[in-house]
Structure 1
Amino acid sequence: MTLSPEAAPRPPATLSAGRAYALLGVVVAVAYSPSYLVMIHSLTEGLGGPAPAATWSDVLIDWARYALMLGLVIFGCVWVSRRLGLGVRELFTPSAPAPTRSGRRIHPVITWVLGLLAFAGLFAGLELSAVLATPAPAQAAGSAPGPGLDAVLWEVGTRVPNTLATSLIEEMVLLGLIALVLGLAERPAWEVYALSAGIRAAMHAHHGWDALWWVLLGVALMALYRRGTLLPLILAHATYNAEITVLTITLALLFG
Protein backbone atom coordinates (compact mmCIF):
# COMPACT_ATOMS: atom_id res chain seq x y z
CA MET A 1 0.00 0.00 0.00
CA THR A 2 1.39 3.38 -0.96
CA LEU A 3 0.95 6.11 1.61
CA SER A 4 2.27 8.94 -0.50
CA PRO A 5 0.33 12.17 -1.07
CA GLU A 6 -0.33 11.13 -4.67
CA ALA A 7 -2.16 8.03 -3.43
CA ALA A 8 -4.70 10.14 -1.56
CA PRO A 9 -5.97 13.00 -3.76
CA ARG A 10 -8.49 15.21 -2.02
CA PRO A 11 -12.07 14.48 -3.02
CA PRO A 12 -14.43 17.45 -3.41
CA ALA A 13 -16.12 18.63 -0.22
CA THR A 14 -19.44 16.81 -0.03
CA LEU A 15 -20.12 17.02 3.70
CA SER A 16 -22.05 19.53 5.68
CA ALA A 17 -20.74 20.33 9.15
CA GLY A 18 -23.81 18.67 10.65
CA ARG A 19 -23.26 15.39 8.83
CA ALA A 20 -19.54 15.43 9.59
CA TYR A 21 -20.15 15.78 13.31
CA ALA A 22 -22.94 13.21 13.20
CA LEU A 23 -20.61 10.61 11.65
CA LEU A 24 -17.83 11.36 14.12
CA GLY A 25 -20.28 11.39 17.01
CA VAL A 26 -21.55 7.91 16.18
CA VAL A 27 -18.02 6.46 15.96
CA VAL A 28 -16.74 8.15 19.12
CA ALA A 29 -19.88 7.32 21.14
CA VAL A 30 -19.94 3.66 20.10
CA ALA A 31 -16.24 2.82 19.86
CA TYR A 32 -15.19 4.52 23.09
CA SER A 33 -18.30 3.66 25.11
CA PRO A 34 -16.62 0.74 26.98
CA SER A 35 -13.91 3.10 28.21
CA TYR A 36 -16.39 5.75 29.33
CA LEU A 37 -18.52 3.16 31.12
CA VAL A 38 -15.48 1.95 33.06
CA MET A 39 -14.59 5.55 33.93
CA ILE A 40 -18.11 6.29 35.18
CA HIS A 41 -18.14 3.06 37.19
CA SER A 42 -14.82 3.96 38.80
CA LEU A 43 -16.05 7.43 39.72
CA THR A 44 -19.28 6.11 41.26
CA GLU A 45 -17.35 3.48 43.20
CA GLY A 46 -15.05 6.20 44.53
CA LEU A 47 -18.05 8.10 45.89
CA GLY A 48 -19.12 5.02 47.83
CA GLY A 49 -15.81 4.49 49.59
CA PRO A 50 -12.50 2.71 48.85
CA ALA A 51 -12.53 0.65 45.67
CA PRO A 52 -12.12 -3.11 46.11
CA ALA A 53 -8.81 -4.64 45.13
CA ALA A 54 -8.65 -5.75 41.50
CA THR A 55 -8.48 -9.46 40.68
CA TRP A 56 -7.34 -11.51 37.69
CA SER A 57 -10.94 -11.74 36.52
CA ASP A 58 -10.90 -7.93 36.25
CA VAL A 59 -7.76 -8.22 34.11
CA LEU A 60 -9.49 -10.62 31.71
CA ILE A 61 -12.43 -8.24 31.47
CA ASP A 62 -9.98 -5.45 30.64
CA TRP A 63 -8.45 -7.53 27.84
CA ALA A 64 -11.93 -8.13 26.43
CA ARG A 65 -12.71 -4.40 26.69
CA TYR A 66 -9.64 -3.43 24.67
CA ALA A 67 -10.37 -6.09 22.05
CA LEU A 68 -13.96 -4.83 21.75
CA MET A 69 -12.86 -1.21 21.44
CA LEU A 70 -10.27 -2.06 18.78
CA GLY A 71 -12.87 -3.95 16.79
CA LEU A 72 -15.36 -1.08 17.09
CA VAL A 73 -12.75 1.49 16.03
CA ILE A 74 -11.77 -0.50 12.93
CA PHE A 75 -15.43 -1.09 12.06
CA GLY A 76 -16.23 2.59 12.61
CA CYS A 77 -13.39 3.78 10.38
CA VAL A 78 -14.39 1.37 7.60
CA TRP A 79 -18.06 2.35 7.96
CA VAL A 80 -17.36 6.09 7.70
CA SER A 81 -14.92 5.63 4.82
CA ARG A 82 -17.44 3.62 2.81
CA ARG A 83 -20.24 6.09 3.48
CA LEU A 84 -17.99 8.81 2.10
CA GLY A 85 -16.90 6.71 -0.88
CA LEU A 86 -13.28 6.60 0.29
CA GLY A 87 -10.73 3.97 1.20
CA VAL A 88 -9.43 3.41 4.73
CA ARG A 89 -5.96 4.36 3.45
CA GLU A 90 -7.20 7.96 3.33
CA LEU A 91 -6.81 7.94 7.13
CA PHE A 92 -3.10 7.27 6.91
CA THR A 93 -2.16 10.23 4.73
CA PRO A 94 -4.14 13.46 5.14
CA SER A 95 -5.46 14.73 1.82
CA ALA A 96 -5.13 18.42 2.72
CA PRO A 97 -2.07 18.81 4.92
CA ALA A 98 -0.63 21.96 6.37
CA PRO A 99 2.53 22.01 4.23
CA THR A 100 6.03 22.35 5.58
CA ARG A 101 8.33 25.07 4.21
CA SER A 102 9.72 22.63 1.67
CA GLY A 103 6.21 21.76 0.49
CA ARG A 104 6.80 18.09 1.35
CA ARG A 105 5.58 15.84 4.11
CA ILE A 106 7.81 15.20 7.09
CA HIS A 107 9.78 11.97 6.63
CA PRO A 108 8.13 9.04 8.47
CA VAL A 109 11.18 8.42 10.68
CA ILE A 110 11.29 12.08 11.70
CA THR A 111 7.53 11.99 12.33
CA TRP A 112 8.03 8.94 14.57
CA VAL A 113 10.85 10.61 16.52
CA LEU A 114 8.89 13.84 16.97
CA GLY A 115 5.81 11.87 17.98
CA LEU A 116 7.85 9.96 20.55
CA LEU A 117 9.16 13.26 21.90
CA ALA A 118 5.57 14.47 22.23
CA PHE A 119 4.74 11.42 24.34
CA ALA A 120 7.93 12.00 26.34
CA GLY A 121 6.60 15.50 27.03
CA LEU A 122 3.37 13.94 28.31
CA PHE A 123 5.36 11.67 30.63
CA ALA A 124 7.41 14.60 31.89
CA GLY A 125 4.26 16.63 32.53
CA LEU A 126 2.63 13.83 34.47
CA GLU A 127 5.78 13.31 36.51
CA LEU A 128 5.91 17.03 37.27
CA SER A 129 2.29 16.94 38.41
CA ALA A 130 3.07 13.93 40.63
CA VAL A 131 5.99 15.74 42.24
CA LEU A 132 3.91 18.83 42.93
CA ALA A 133 0.94 16.86 44.26
CA THR A 134 0.43 15.51 47.75
CA PRO A 135 2.17 12.13 48.09
CA ALA A 136 -0.17 9.20 47.55
CA PRO A 137 -0.36 6.12 49.79
CA ALA A 138 2.40 3.58 49.22
CA GLN A 139 0.04 1.03 47.65
CA ALA A 140 -3.44 1.74 46.39
CA ALA A 141 -6.21 -0.80 46.05
CA GLY A 142 -5.87 -2.79 42.87
CA SER A 143 -2.12 -2.25 42.46
CA ALA A 144 0.41 -5.04 42.10
CA PRO A 145 -0.48 -7.77 44.62
CA GLY A 146 3.02 -8.39 45.91
CA PRO A 147 6.77 -8.29 45.22
CA GLY A 148 8.79 -10.28 42.73
CA LEU A 149 7.24 -12.56 40.13
CA ASP A 150 3.65 -11.93 41.25
CA ALA A 151 4.11 -8.22 40.69
CA VAL A 152 5.64 -8.80 37.26
CA LEU A 153 2.79 -11.07 36.15
CA TRP A 154 0.29 -8.53 37.41
CA GLU A 155 1.91 -5.68 35.50
CA VAL A 156 2.09 -7.79 32.33
CA GLY A 157 -1.57 -8.72 32.61
CA THR A 158 -2.78 -5.18 33.23
CA ARG A 159 -0.49 -3.25 30.88
CA VAL A 160 -0.03 -5.43 27.79
CA PRO A 161 -3.57 -4.79 26.44
CA ASN A 162 -2.95 -1.06 26.78
CA THR A 163 0.40 -1.37 25.03
CA LEU A 164 -0.94 -3.37 22.10
CA ALA A 165 -4.28 -1.74 21.45
CA THR A 166 -4.50 1.91 22.50
CA SER A 167 -2.19 3.28 19.80
CA LEU A 168 -4.65 2.04 17.14
CA ILE A 169 -7.79 2.73 19.19
CA GLU A 170 -6.86 6.36 19.76
CA GLU A 171 -4.87 7.54 16.76
CA MET A 172 -7.02 6.06 13.98
CA VAL A 173 -9.99 8.09 15.25
CA LEU A 174 -8.46 11.08 17.03
CA LEU A 175 -6.06 11.86 14.19
CA GLY A 176 -7.02 10.07 10.97
CA LEU A 177 -10.82 10.02 11.09
CA ILE A 178 -11.33 13.46 12.61
CA ALA A 179 -8.93 15.16 10.18
CA LEU A 180 -10.44 13.34 7.21
CA VAL A 181 -14.10 14.00 7.98
CA LEU A 182 -13.72 17.61 9.11
CA GLY A 183 -11.40 18.22 6.15
CA LEU A 184 -14.08 17.03 3.73
CA ALA A 185 -16.54 19.35 5.46
CA GLU A 186 -14.00 22.17 5.02
CA ARG A 187 -13.96 23.00 8.71
CA PRO A 188 -11.20 25.36 9.94
CA ALA A 189 -7.96 23.92 11.30
CA TRP A 190 -8.58 25.15 14.86
CA GLU A 191 -11.77 23.07 14.92
CA VAL A 192 -9.87 19.95 13.93
CA TYR A 193 -7.30 20.54 16.67
CA ALA A 194 -9.93 21.41 19.30
CA LEU A 195 -12.11 18.35 18.65
CA SER A 196 -9.20 15.92 18.55
CA ALA A 197 -7.50 17.27 21.67
CA GLY A 198 -10.79 17.64 23.52
CA ILE A 199 -11.85 14.03 22.99
CA ARG A 200 -8.35 12.84 23.91
CA ALA A 201 -8.52 14.77 27.18
CA ALA A 202 -12.05 13.50 27.90
CA MET A 203 -10.81 9.92 27.51
CA HIS A 204 -8.31 10.62 30.29
CA ALA A 205 -10.61 12.68 32.49
CA HIS A 206 -10.12 10.18 35.33
CA HIS A 207 -6.68 11.76 35.79
CA GLY A 208 -8.33 15.00 36.90
CA TRP A 209 -6.54 18.20 35.97
CA ASP A 210 -3.67 16.13 34.57
CA ALA A 211 -5.95 15.45 31.58
CA LEU A 212 -4.85 18.87 30.34
CA TRP A 213 -1.48 17.33 29.47
CA TRP A 214 -3.35 15.19 26.93
CA VAL A 215 -4.70 18.37 25.35
CA LEU A 216 -1.14 19.50 24.64
CA LEU A 217 -0.25 16.03 23.38
CA GLY A 218 -3.30 16.00 21.10
CA VAL A 219 -2.40 19.35 19.55
CA ALA A 220 1.20 18.24 18.95
CA LEU A 221 0.20 14.93 17.37
CA MET A 222 -2.39 16.53 15.10
CA ALA A 223 0.19 19.09 13.95
CA LEU A 224 2.57 16.24 13.07
CA TYR A 225 -0.14 14.21 11.36
CA ARG A 226 -1.24 17.11 9.15
CA ARG A 227 2.36 17.47 7.97
CA GLY A 228 3.27 13.78 7.87
CA THR A 229 1.44 10.45 7.93
CA LEU A 230 -0.44 8.41 10.52
CA LEU A 231 1.53 5.19 10.74
CA PRO A 232 4.68 6.70 12.35
CA LEU A 233 2.49 8.30 15.05
CA ILE A 234 0.75 5.00 15.76
CA LEU A 235 4.19 3.43 16.11
CA ALA A 236 5.36 6.30 18.34
CA HIS A 237 2.36 5.75 20.63
CA ALA A 238 3.00 2.00 20.72
CA THR A 239 6.71 2.56 21.40
CA TYR A 240 5.92 4.90 24.28
CA ASN A 241 3.45 2.41 25.77
CA ALA A 242 5.99 -0.40 25.43
CA GLU A 243 8.72 1.65 27.13
CA ILE A 244 6.43 2.49 30.06
CA THR A 245 5.42 -1.17 30.33
CA VAL A 246 9.02 -2.41 30.33
CA LEU A 247 10.00 0.25 32.89
CA THR A 248 7.10 -0.66 35.18
CA ILE A 249 7.76 -4.39 34.92
CA THR A 250 11.47 -3.85 35.61
CA LEU A 251 10.69 -1.81 38.72
CA ALA A 252 8.19 -4.42 39.86
CA LEU A 253 10.78 -7.17 39.41
CA LEU A 254 13.50 -5.26 41.24
CA PHE A 255 11.51 -3.69 44.05
CA GLY A 256 8.13 -5.47 44.14
Structure 2
Amino acid sequence: MSTSLSPSDPPACSRRSGLAGALRRLVRVPPTVSGRPEARRLSAASAYGMLAVAYVLAFGYSVYGQAVVVLSGAELEMAPPSAGELWPVALASWAQGGALVLLALLAVLLCSRAAGVRVREVFAPEASGRVRGQWWRAFAVALVAYTVCAQASSLLRTATGSPGGFSMESGAEAVRMVVMLGPAQVTTGFVEETVAVGCLVVLLGAARRPAWEVGAVAVVAKLAYHAYFGWPVLALAPAALVMVWLYARTGRLWPLIAAHAAYNLLNSVYVLALAALAPSAL
Protein backbone atom coordinates (compact mmCIF):
# COMPACT_ATOMS: atom_id res chain seq x y z
CA MET A 1 0.00 0.00 0.00
CA SER A 2 1.27 3.47 -0.79
CA THR A 3 2.32 5.68 2.10
CA SER A 4 -0.13 8.44 1.25
CA LEU A 5 -3.70 8.81 0.07
CA SER A 6 -3.38 10.92 -3.05
CA PRO A 7 -6.44 11.45 -5.28
CA SER A 8 -4.24 10.68 -8.30
CA ASP A 9 -2.46 7.70 -6.76
CA PRO A 10 -4.78 5.20 -5.01
CA PRO A 11 -3.11 2.63 -2.75
CA ALA A 12 -2.17 -0.68 -4.34
CA CYS A 13 -4.36 -3.68 -3.61
CA SER A 14 -2.92 -5.90 -0.90
CA ARG A 15 -2.78 -9.68 -1.35
CA ARG A 16 -3.67 -10.35 2.28
CA SER A 17 -6.56 -12.70 2.96
CA GLY A 18 -9.37 -12.14 5.44
CA LEU A 19 -11.97 -9.39 5.66
CA ALA A 20 -9.70 -6.70 4.19
CA GLY A 21 -8.85 -8.93 1.25
CA ALA A 22 -12.51 -9.77 0.69
CA LEU A 23 -13.46 -6.10 0.65
CA ARG A 24 -10.69 -5.31 -1.82
CA ARG A 25 -11.90 -8.08 -4.12
CA LEU A 26 -15.46 -6.79 -3.81
CA VAL A 27 -14.59 -3.21 -4.74
CA ARG A 28 -12.26 -3.73 -7.69
CA VAL A 29 -10.33 -0.85 -9.22
CA PRO A 30 -7.70 -0.93 -11.97
CA PRO A 31 -4.05 -0.43 -10.92
CA THR A 32 -4.10 3.09 -12.36
CA VAL A 33 -7.34 5.04 -12.56
CA SER A 34 -6.83 7.60 -15.31
CA GLY A 35 -10.06 9.40 -14.46
CA ARG A 36 -8.94 10.46 -10.99
CA PRO A 37 -8.27 14.19 -10.55
CA GLU A 38 -4.65 15.32 -10.61
CA ALA A 39 -4.46 17.57 -7.56
CA ARG A 40 -1.81 20.24 -7.22
CA ARG A 41 0.69 19.75 -4.44
CA LEU A 42 -0.28 21.47 -1.18
CA SER A 43 1.72 22.01 1.96
CA ALA A 44 0.43 20.27 5.09
CA ALA A 45 -0.35 23.66 6.63
CA SER A 46 -2.42 24.75 3.62
CA ALA A 47 -4.28 21.44 3.47
CA TYR A 48 -5.13 21.41 7.16
CA GLY A 49 -6.04 25.09 7.11
CA MET A 50 -8.52 24.60 4.27
CA LEU A 51 -9.84 21.41 5.88
CA ALA A 52 -10.46 23.34 9.10
CA VAL A 53 -12.43 25.96 7.17
CA ALA A 54 -14.54 23.26 5.48
CA TYR A 55 -15.13 21.47 8.77
CA VAL A 56 -16.20 24.62 10.58
CA LEU A 57 -18.58 25.51 7.75
CA ALA A 58 -20.29 22.11 7.87
CA PHE A 59 -20.03 21.06 11.51
CA GLY A 60 -19.00 24.11 13.50
CA TYR A 61 -22.49 24.90 14.74
CA SER A 62 -23.14 21.29 15.80
CA VAL A 63 -19.81 20.84 17.58
CA TYR A 64 -20.18 24.23 19.29
CA GLY A 65 -23.69 23.36 20.49
CA GLN A 66 -22.55 20.02 21.88
CA ALA A 67 -19.59 21.66 23.63
CA VAL A 68 -21.91 24.19 25.29
CA VAL A 69 -24.12 21.36 26.58
CA VAL A 70 -21.15 19.44 27.97
CA LEU A 71 -19.71 22.52 29.68
CA SER A 72 -23.10 23.26 31.25
CA GLY A 73 -23.08 19.83 32.89
CA ALA A 74 -26.15 18.58 31.01
CA GLU A 75 -26.38 15.23 29.21
CA LEU A 76 -25.82 15.09 25.48
CA GLU A 77 -28.88 13.55 23.88
CA MET A 78 -31.40 14.33 21.17
CA ALA A 79 -35.04 14.32 22.29
CA PRO A 80 -38.15 14.92 20.16
CA PRO A 81 -40.18 18.12 20.59
CA SER A 82 -43.52 18.10 22.38
CA ALA A 83 -46.67 17.68 20.27
CA GLY A 84 -47.40 21.41 20.39
CA GLU A 85 -43.89 22.36 19.29
CA LEU A 86 -43.48 19.72 16.58
CA TRP A 87 -44.02 21.74 13.40
CA PRO A 88 -42.09 24.90 14.37
CA VAL A 89 -39.16 22.74 15.48
CA ALA A 90 -39.43 20.44 12.45
CA LEU A 91 -39.50 23.33 9.97
CA ALA A 92 -36.50 24.91 11.66
CA SER A 93 -34.68 21.56 11.50
CA TRP A 94 -35.48 21.13 7.81
CA ALA A 95 -34.29 24.67 7.05
CA GLN A 96 -31.08 24.01 8.93
CA GLY A 97 -30.52 20.87 6.87
CA GLY A 98 -30.90 22.85 3.66
CA ALA A 99 -28.50 25.51 4.90
CA LEU A 100 -25.92 22.85 5.78
CA VAL A 101 -26.12 21.43 2.25
CA LEU A 102 -25.31 24.88 0.85
CA LEU A 103 -22.43 25.25 3.31
CA ALA A 104 -21.10 21.81 2.32
CA LEU A 105 -21.23 22.83 -1.35
CA LEU A 106 -19.31 25.99 -0.49
CA ALA A 107 -16.78 23.88 1.42
CA VAL A 108 -16.22 21.50 -1.51
CA LEU A 109 -15.93 24.45 -3.91
CA LEU A 110 -13.21 26.04 -1.75
CA CYS A 111 -11.40 22.73 -1.29
CA SER A 112 -11.50 21.81 -4.97
CA ARG A 113 -10.09 25.19 -5.93
CA ALA A 114 -7.33 24.87 -3.34
CA ALA A 115 -6.40 21.43 -4.70
CA GLY A 116 -6.76 22.48 -8.34
CA VAL A 117 -9.48 19.97 -9.26
CA ARG A 118 -13.02 20.39 -10.56
CA VAL A 119 -15.92 20.04 -8.14
CA ARG A 120 -17.46 17.17 -10.10
CA GLU A 121 -14.15 15.29 -9.93
CA VAL A 122 -14.46 15.28 -6.14
CA PHE A 123 -17.72 13.35 -6.43
CA ALA A 124 -16.84 10.86 -9.19
CA PRO A 125 -13.95 9.96 -11.52
CA GLU A 126 -14.05 10.68 -15.22
CA ALA A 127 -15.70 8.04 -17.39
CA SER A 128 -12.31 6.60 -18.40
CA GLY A 129 -11.59 5.76 -14.77
CA ARG A 130 -14.82 3.99 -13.95
CA VAL A 131 -15.27 0.26 -13.38
CA ARG A 132 -18.48 -1.56 -14.23
CA GLY A 133 -20.48 -2.44 -11.13
CA GLN A 134 -18.14 -0.52 -8.86
CA TRP A 135 -20.81 2.00 -7.76
CA TRP A 136 -23.05 -0.72 -6.35
CA ARG A 137 -20.16 -2.56 -4.73
CA ALA A 138 -19.03 0.60 -2.98
CA PHE A 139 -22.62 1.34 -1.93
CA ALA A 140 -23.05 -2.16 -0.48
CA VAL A 141 -19.81 -2.08 1.50
CA ALA A 142 -20.57 1.40 2.83
CA LEU A 143 -24.12 0.44 3.83
CA VAL A 144 -22.91 -2.67 5.66
CA ALA A 145 -20.22 -0.66 7.44
CA TYR A 146 -22.69 1.98 8.63
CA THR A 147 -25.26 -0.61 9.70
CA VAL A 148 -22.79 -2.72 11.69
CA CYS A 149 -21.03 0.20 13.36
CA ALA A 150 -24.17 2.21 14.17
CA GLN A 151 -25.93 -0.82 15.61
CA ALA A 152 -22.82 -1.70 17.62
CA SER A 153 -22.86 1.82 19.08
CA SER A 154 -26.55 1.48 19.93
CA LEU A 155 -26.04 -1.91 21.58
CA LEU A 156 -23.12 -0.59 23.63
CA ARG A 157 -25.21 2.34 24.80
CA THR A 158 -28.09 0.05 25.78
CA ALA A 159 -25.88 -2.55 27.48
CA THR A 160 -23.98 -0.02 29.56
CA GLY A 161 -26.80 2.43 30.21
CA SER A 162 -24.66 5.20 28.78
CA PRO A 163 -26.52 8.50 28.30
CA GLY A 164 -26.67 10.15 24.89
CA GLY A 165 -28.04 9.39 21.47
CA PHE A 166 -31.72 9.62 20.59
CA SER A 167 -34.07 9.64 23.56
CA MET A 168 -37.58 8.28 22.83
CA GLU A 169 -39.88 6.80 25.46
CA SER A 170 -43.09 6.19 23.53
CA GLY A 171 -44.42 5.50 20.07
CA ALA A 172 -45.66 9.08 19.76
CA GLU A 173 -42.22 10.44 20.61
CA ALA A 174 -40.64 8.15 18.01
CA VAL A 175 -42.98 9.47 15.33
CA ARG A 176 -42.24 13.08 16.31
CA MET A 177 -38.51 12.35 16.19
CA VAL A 178 -38.73 10.96 12.66
CA VAL A 179 -40.87 13.92 11.51
CA MET A 180 -38.47 16.40 13.11
CA LEU A 181 -35.48 14.90 11.35
CA GLY A 182 -37.35 14.67 8.04
CA PRO A 183 -35.10 15.61 5.10
CA ALA A 184 -32.08 15.53 7.42
CA GLN A 185 -32.10 11.76 6.91
CA VAL A 186 -30.76 12.48 3.43
CA THR A 187 -29.02 15.84 3.80
CA THR A 188 -26.78 14.66 6.65
CA GLY A 189 -25.40 11.93 4.41
CA PHE A 190 -24.51 14.50 1.77
CA VAL A 191 -22.94 16.96 4.21
CA GLU A 192 -20.95 14.42 6.20
CA GLU A 193 -19.54 12.41 3.30
CA THR A 194 -18.81 15.46 1.18
CA VAL A 195 -16.77 17.23 3.86
CA ALA A 196 -15.52 14.54 6.27
CA VAL A 197 -14.56 12.16 3.43
CA GLY A 198 -14.36 13.96 0.07
CA CYS A 199 -12.75 17.23 1.13
CA LEU A 200 -10.59 15.47 3.69
CA VAL A 201 -9.12 12.90 1.29
CA VAL A 202 -8.66 15.39 -1.55
CA LEU A 203 -6.86 17.94 0.62
CA LEU A 204 -4.69 15.56 2.63
CA GLY A 205 -4.00 13.56 -0.52
CA ALA A 206 -2.82 16.75 -2.22
CA ALA A 207 -0.51 17.31 0.77
CA ARG A 208 0.76 13.70 0.36
CA ARG A 209 -0.06 12.82 3.95
CA PRO A 210 0.45 9.16 4.97
CA ALA A 211 -2.54 6.83 4.97
CA TRP A 212 -2.49 6.30 8.74
CA GLU A 213 -2.69 10.06 9.27
CA VAL A 214 -5.60 10.46 6.86
CA GLY A 215 -7.43 7.65 8.63
CA ALA A 216 -6.78 9.11 12.07
CA VAL A 217 -8.04 12.56 11.03
CA ALA A 218 -11.14 10.98 9.44
CA VAL A 219 -11.96 9.15 12.69
CA VAL A 220 -11.56 12.30 14.81
CA ALA A 221 -13.62 14.30 12.31
CA LYS A 222 -16.53 11.82 12.38
CA LEU A 223 -16.56 11.23 16.14
CA ALA A 224 -16.46 14.95 17.00
CA TYR A 225 -19.84 15.82 15.47
CA HIS A 226 -21.40 12.58 16.78
CA ALA A 227 -20.34 13.25 20.37
CA TYR A 228 -23.98 13.27 21.49
CA PHE A 229 -23.83 9.44 21.26
CA GLY A 230 -21.55 9.41 24.30
CA TRP A 231 -18.51 7.15 24.53
CA PRO A 232 -20.21 4.37 22.45
CA VAL A 233 -19.58 6.70 19.51
CA LEU A 234 -16.17 4.99 19.33
CA ALA A 235 -17.94 2.13 17.54
CA LEU A 236 -18.31 4.46 14.53
CA ALA A 237 -14.53 4.67 14.07
CA PRO A 238 -14.34 1.63 11.74
CA ALA A 239 -17.07 3.16 9.56
CA ALA A 240 -15.00 6.34 9.18
CA LEU A 241 -12.01 4.26 8.07
CA VAL A 242 -14.07 2.24 5.60
CA MET A 243 -15.52 5.39 3.99
CA VAL A 244 -12.07 6.93 3.54
CA TRP A 245 -10.70 3.67 2.16
CA LEU A 246 -13.58 3.28 -0.30
CA TYR A 247 -13.23 6.83 -1.54
CA ALA A 248 -9.45 6.61 -1.88
CA ARG A 249 -9.84 3.36 -3.83
CA THR A 250 -12.66 4.34 -6.15
CA GLY A 251 -12.87 8.14 -6.28
CA ARG A 252 -16.64 7.74 -5.90
CA LEU A 253 -18.42 9.85 -3.31
CA TRP A 254 -22.02 9.39 -4.47
CA PRO A 255 -22.36 5.73 -3.40
CA LEU A 256 -21.10 6.68 0.09
CA ILE A 257 -23.62 9.52 0.30
CA ALA A 258 -26.38 7.19 -0.92
CA ALA A 259 -25.40 4.46 1.57
CA HIS A 260 -25.41 6.92 4.48
CA ALA A 261 -28.83 8.27 3.48
CA ALA A 262 -30.16 4.74 2.92
CA TYR A 263 -29.08 3.68 6.39
CA ASN A 264 -30.74 6.73 7.95
CA LEU A 265 -34.00 6.09 6.09
CA LEU A 266 -34.02 2.36 6.89
CA ASN A 267 -33.35 3.14 10.53
CA SER A 268 -36.31 5.55 10.55
CA VAL A 269 -38.54 2.84 9.07
CA TYR A 270 -37.32 0.46 11.79
CA VAL A 271 -38.06 3.04 14.53
CA LEU A 272 -41.57 3.65 13.16
CA ALA A 273 -42.23 -0.10 12.95
CA LEU A 274 -41.01 -0.51 16.52
CA ALA A 275 -43.21 2.36 17.65
CA ALA A 276 -46.25 0.71 16.08
CA LEU A 277 -45.59 -2.91 17.07
CA ALA A 278 -43.54 -2.76 20.27
CA PRO A 279 -43.31 0.77 21.69
CA SER A 280 -42.04 -0.56 25.03
CA ALA A 281 -38.84 -1.63 23.24
CA LEU A 282 -37.90 1.95 22.37
TM bucket (normalised to shorter chain) is 0.7 to 0.9
**In the alignment, is residue 211 of structure 1 matched against residue 244 of structure 2?**
no
- One-letter amino acid of the structure 1 residue matched with residue 108 of structure 2: C
Residue from 223, 226, 229 that aligns with 2:245: 223
Give distance in 1, aligned partners of 2:105 and 2:246: 22
- One-letter amino acid of the structure 1 residue matched with residue 90 of structure 2: V
Aligned to 1:85: 116
**In the alignment, is residue 236 of structure 1 matched against residue 259 of structure 2?**
yes
Q: Secondary structure at the match of 2:208?
A: coil
Residue from 181, 189, 193 that aligns with 1:171: 193
Give distance in 1, aligned partners of 2:162 and 2:219: 29
User: CA contact under 8 A between 1:118 and 1:220: conserved in structure 2?
Assistant: yes
Aligned to 1:114: 141
Aligned to 2:268: 245
Q: Deviations over 1:114-140 (max 9, x none)?
A: 11110121133123303421388xx95
Give distance in 1, aligned partners of 2:78 and 2:268: 24
Q: Structure 1 residue 72: deviation in Å?
A: 0.6
User: Which runs of at least 4 in structure 1 moved beyond 4 Å after TM superposition?
Assistant: 50-53, 150-153
Moved more, 232-241 or 37-46: 37-46
Task: Summarize the Cα distance change of 1:9–1:130 in structure 2 as closer, same or farther, 3 Å threshold.
Answer: closer
Aligned to 1:183: 205
Q: Deviations over 1:61-92 (max 9, x none)?
A: 32222222111111111122124332112212
**In the alignment, is residue 23 of structure 1 matched against residue 50 of structure 2?**
yes
| Percent of aligned pairs sharing the same letter | 28
User: CA contact under 8 A between 1:116 and 1:237: conserved in structure 2?
Assistant: yes
User: CA contact under 8 A between 2:40 and 2:115: conserved in structure 1?
Assistant: no
Aligned to 1:68: 99
Give distance in 1, aligned partners of 2:264 and 2:174: 16
- One-letter amino acid of the structure 2 residue matched with residue 33 of structure 1: G
Query: Aligned ranges for residues 136-147 of structure 1 at < 5 Å?
Result: 143=168, 147=171
Q: Structure 1 residue 194: deviation in Å?
A: 1.0
Q: Structure 1 residue 40: deviation in Å?
A: 3.0
**In the alignment, is residue 43 of structure 1 matched against residue 70 of structure 2?**
yes
Q: Structure 1 residue 20: deviation in Å?
A: 0.6
Matched length: 236
Give distance in 1, aligned partners of 2:78 and 2:228: 14
Aligned to 1:132: 159
Q: Which runs of 5+ in 2 are unaligned?
A: 1-29
Q: Which runs of 5+ in 1 are unaligned?
A: 96-103
Give distance in 1, aligned partners of 2:200 and 2:102: 18
Q: Deviations over 1:6-44 (max 9, x none)?
A: 33342342x111111111111111221221233234435
Task: Summarize the Cα distance change of 1:78–1:59 in structure 2 as closer, same or farther, 3 Å threshold.
Answer: same
Q: Secondary structure at the match of 1:6?
A: coil
Give distance in 1, aligned partners of 2:154 and 2:235: 11
Task: Summarize the Cα distance change of 1:168–1:51 in structure 2 as closer, same or farther, 3 Å threshold.
Answer: closer
Q: Structure 1 residue 221: deviation in Å?
A: 1.4
**In the alignment, is residue 192 of structure 1 matched against residue 220 of structure 2?**
no
Q: Normalising by structure 1, report the TM-score.
A: 0.80
Aligned to 1:159: 181
Q: Secondary structure at the match of 2:116?
A: coil
User: CA contact under 8 A between 2:186 and 2:261: conserved in structure 1?
Assistant: yes
Cα RMSD (Å): 3.0
Residue from 7, 12, 36 that aligns with 1:8: 36
Aligned to 1:101: none
Task: Summarize the Cα distance change of 1:47–1:238 in structure 2 as closer, same or farther, 3 Å threshold.
Answer: closer
Aligned to 2:15: none
Q: Structure 1 residue 199: deviation in Å?
A: 0.7
Task: Summarize the Cα distance change of 1:251–1:182 in structure 2 as closer, same or farther, 3 Å threshold.
Answer: same
- One-letter amino acid of the structure 1 residue matched with residue 223 of structure 2: A
Give distance in 2, aligned partners of 1:65 and 1:58: 10
Q: Secondary structure at the match of 2:53?
A: helix
